Amino acid sequence: MNEKVPKGRTKNASRHEEEKESNEMKIRTCPVFKRLSLSDISDPSSPMSVMDDLSNSFTSQKLRVFTLSELRVITHNFSRSNMLGEGGFGPVYKGFIDDKVKPGLEAQPVAVKALDLHGHQGHREWLAEIIFLGQLSNENLVKLIGFCCEEEQRVLVYEYMPRGSLENQLFRRNSVAMAWGIRMKIALGAARGLAFLHEAEKPVIYRDFKTSNILLDSNYNARLSDFGLAKDGPEGEHTHVTTRVMGTQGYAAPEYIMTGHLTTMNDVYSFGVVLLELITGKRSMDSTRARKEQSLVEWVRPMLRDQRKLGRIIDPRLECQYKTEAAQTAVALALKCLSQNPKYRPTMCEVVKVLESIQEVETRERNGNKEANKFFDTKKCRHYRKGKRHVNIAYSDSLLYKDSKTKQSNGI
């Protein structure tokens, strides 16, 4: 039988190209698993329906469904002594899971977040968390292990983050001040988390970026938690999503508060606020401060433009143990993220690049100079030394530079 060979092709070449075409067809016809949205869930009130729908999703993690009685065992009956904290959703308890609780479960500590039935949040926030965290997986997002839905009760089970939230680490009274290097490492990790969300095939706007939603592992790797307010970004021709204004005072972008128009640039503004909190060691809103100083952004913004005022802005507890150039770059970055006009804000990918460059410079400096003292700018710090109480800084060479392996895993 004569094989039809198109003009200009040899028989072998033709077979090869046919194979290639057929492979391409296979790829093209392979079902595309799209990330599901809240509106795609057929029966949102049923955990089984949620699981069924999620199991068809490409990146779906293996979420586990827990019963309330299993969670009671895990948390010692939701005892107060196991409580890690409490937010708008409800109390969070520490627990421990292993394969005695459920076959196949890896032994590990967990954080169990239970809905406060008298609170403002409910099924919608619980479901949003499952829909987003059940499908998105990245080293800078907290891992959701499973959930529980029994009658009115809604519970979420996460991996346990040993250093808790950035809010607790940065602002807890009588705590040891966090070193500059650790602060920048956390900023970079959190920025990577946001960049991952914004750059996803179907972008996600996080909408609740703040220090209490940045959780820390034992090496200060940052992971974003709380997707209850997250939203799918605009699709197609649309430039924004219109929503009811929600979020936390002190972090939301001005144009979002004014119009309800949601874009990824709103998250960039919130990132600028958190970066400013890391730089200054001050909360974004504090009603105990003098009236003019209550909003950190409004108070500090005029000073951000003046490099001579750097010393006044940066957290005095750091006792000048940071590189001036690095601090200047971080301050300039915060200022850009906080631009009133969202057009002038950088994308999160650009933010990541700047923070990576800060880390590279600092790593080079440190590697060339192991003595922490040379990191200390004595001229800059004259006024701190005069009669100021010495503040301990959580700047531990052993923590950040134990050996070359740790150095790599810390990303520093």
Ligand X SMILES: Nc1ncnc2c1ncn2[C@@H]1O[C@H](COP(=O)(O)OP(=O)(O)OP(=O)(O)O)[C@@H](O)[C@H]1O
Contact residues toward ligand X (CB under 6 A) are 84-89, 92, 111, 113, 142, 158, 160-161, 164-165, 167-168, 212-213, 215, 225-226
Smallest gap from Cβ 226 to ligand X, in A, equals 5
Residue nearest to ligand X (CB): 87
Smallest gap from Cβ 195 to Mg ion, in A, equals 20
The residue among 154 and 261 lying less far from Mg ion, judged by its C-beta, is 154
Residues 296-335, one symbol each (x = binds Mg ion by CB under 5 A, - = not), give ----------------------------------------
CB 78 within 8 Å of CB 72: yes
The residue among 278 and 330 lying less far from ligand X, judged by its C-beta, is 278
CA dist., res. 338 & res. 345, Å (int): 7
CB 305 within 8 Å of CB 332: no
Q: Give residue 188's Cα distance to chain centre.
A: 10
The residue among 166 and 314 lying less far from ligand X, judged by its C-beta, is 166
Smallest gap from Cβ 90 to ligand X, in A, equals 7
Q: Both tokens of residue 33?
A: 């698993």
Stretch that binds Mg ion, among 79-87, 243-251, 319-327, 350-358 (CB under 5 A): 79-87
The residues that bridge with 93 in the sheet, in sequence order, are: 83, 112
Residue 85 is a binding residue for Mg ion (CB under 5 A): no
In degrees and rounded to multiples of 5, residue 221 shows phi and psi of -75, 130
Q: Both tokens of residue 6?
A: 């198109």
Q: What angle do CA 184, 407, 212 make, to 5 degrees?
A: 35
Which of the listed partners (ligand X, Mg ion, none) does 220 bind, with a CB threshold of 5 to 8 Å by partner kind?
none
Closest CA to 240 of 265, 257, 207: 265
Helix axes 296-304, 264-280, angle to 10 degrees: 80
DSSP-assigned letters across all residues of 301-329 = HHHHT-GGGHHHHS-GGGTTBS-HHHHHH
Q: Both tokens of residue 198?
A: 């914004």
Which of the listed partners (ligand X, Mg ion, none) does 284 bind, with a CB threshold of 5 to 8 Å by partner kind?
none
Q: Dmax over Cα atoms in the chain, in whole Å?
A: 99
Smallest gap from Cβ 133 to ligand X, in A, equals 11
Residue 226 is a binding residue for Mg ion (CB under 5 A): yes
Which of the listed partners (ligand X, Mg ion, none) does 111 bind, with a CB threshold of 5 to 8 Å by partner kind?
ligand X
> Is-catalytic flag, 226?
no
The active-site residue, picked from 43, 53, 98, 208, is 208
Smallest gap from Cβ 337 to ligand X, in A, equals 21
CA atoms within 13 A on the CB side of 218: 4
Contact residue for Mg ion among 87, 119, 234, 411 (CB under 5 A):
87
Residue 213 is a binding residue for Mg ion (CB under 5 A): yes
DSSP-assigned letters across all residues of 88-134 = SS-EEEEEEE-TTTSTTPPPEEEEEEE--TTSS--HHHHHHHHHHHT
Stretch that binds Mg ion, among 60-68, 94-102, 225-233, 260-268 (CB under 5 A): 225-233
Smallest gap from Cβ 156 to ligand X, in A, equals 9
The residue among 210 and 261 lying less far from Mg ion, judged by its C-beta, is 210
Residue 129 is a binding residue for Mg ion (CB under 5 A): no
The residue among 209 and 395 lying less far from Mg ion, judged by its C-beta, is 209
List residues with catalytic annotation: 208
Binding site for Mg ion (CB under 5 A): 87, 212-213, 226
